[in-house]
Copies of this chain bind each other. A is one copy, B any other.
């Protein structure tokens, strides 16, 4: 147990809400920084535990750390949507890498060697050829898009702080995670939203998709944050860990499952503009290192996750009536 405050950056995001929840259940004293005011789930933390902070503003970050003196930092903040990062790379570099540097230097300045949990991404590996087998943490990082590049760069700049003892570092490389509340810019949430609209008779029975013949590892966000929460529980060593279910599924299969929930006949229209350039067909993940270190295994079945995501959109769209 950790008596010092736990700080979550980017706490207002999709993953932040779930992480706040699990850390509170572990009895943690949770504070969260936010930058997008409207996105906060105000009920999850007392008002005074929501801290507005632009992480690219070095002095604000230093002041925050001097005031709060956190014992553990979960760094979730950053631009996480690939097209946004690609559209303005200098801004993505500033937000994701300079923001991380400011946090690392603020940790160093405290002189207390706090636990720093860097949430990187499975995308840092880039296009791993299928013949090389499931992706392990020792694989070289060859990020294929600029979002992934900023994550690999953030990992790089965290290492020397760990080396100097300024932080105690754990890096997670989560792969696709899904769950209720995720923005419809991500594929599963997008499909579920489209199909929920059809189920509610709010639109034509057509769902628009990109390349559905790719295989990915999808993990329930609640399993992901349960893994993150194990750091607070003192069960995770200083190391780099993949975090994923370890099983791949075709996007086509997810689409069919979501369609089956709707109880409707739905046409699938493939739109080439939705294809991501030169994707890897099948990306399988080896999560053995994290499982061996902590005993973590994914618990939420994919079908349950998909049902929850679908129900989320049905409820949300019903309330909005659009």
Contact = CB atoms under 8 A, between A and B. Distances in A.
Contacts of A140: 137-138, 140, 240
Contact of A160 (B98, B137, B146, B157): B146
Interface in A150-174: 150, 152-153, 156-157, 159-160, 163-164
A141 interface: yes
Interface stretch (A89-97, A228-236, A292-300, A301-309): A89-97
Contact of A143 (B126, B160, B277): B160
A8 interface: no
A149 B156 contact: yes
Contacts of A153: 97, 152-153, 156-157
B97 A163 contact: no
Contacts of A150: 156-157
B126 A144 contact: no
A142 interface: yes
A97 B93 contact: yes
A289 interface: no
17 contacts: A126-B159, A140-B140, A141-B141, A141-B159, A142-B159, A143-B159, A143-B160, A144-B159, A144-B163, A145-B160, A146-B157, A149-B157, A149-B159, A149-B160, A152-B153, A153-B157, A164-B277
Q: Kindly list the 7 A-B residue pairs having the minimum CB-CB distance in the complex, ordered from nearest.
A: A153-B153, A152-B156, A149-B157, A144-B163, A153-B156, A149-B156, A142-B159
Interface of A: 58, 89-90, 93, 97-98, 101, 105, 124, 126-127, 137-138, 140-146, 148-150, 152-153, 156-157, 159-160, 163-164, 240, 277-278
Given A144-B163, A153-B156, 13 more contacts: A126-B163, A127-B163, A138-B140, A140-B240, A141-B141, A141-B159, A143-B159, A146-B157, A146-B160, A148-B160, A150-B156, A152-B153, A152-B159
